[in-house]
Amino acid sequence: MKKIVETIGFLVFAQGAAGLLHEWTGWFRLWTLVRRLDFMSEYGVFVNIVLVVTGAAVMIAADSIKS
């Protein structure tokens, strides 16, 4: 269970980081999910920052899960 939570946290973190790179530099055009959601397109930077923080929090919280 701990590995699953860590993996989910990493995926959320990576999605946010790639989204920020796309917003700032134009890279990772095909890899970002937030860009494809129309209702979130206006708040791209904010949503990606939230994804980075949430992913990091989930990965940190995964350490408290006992195997």
Compute the 3-state secondary structure of the chain and give helix, strand, coil in percent, each to the nearest 5.
80, 0, 20
Q: CA 41, CA 43: separation in Å to the nearest integer? A: 6
Per-residue CA distances from 2 to 9, 14, 16, 29 (Å): 11, 18, 21, 31
Residue-range domain boundaries for the chain: 2-64
Burial class (CB in 10 A: 0-12, 13-18, 19+), 51: buried
- Classify the C-alpha dihedral 62-51-28-39 as positive or negative: positive
Tens digit of each residue's pLDDT (9 = 90 or more) over 9-65: 999 999 999 989 888 888 777 777 777 788 887 888 899 999 999 999 999 999 888
What is the reported pTM?
0.85
The pLDDT of residue 7: 95
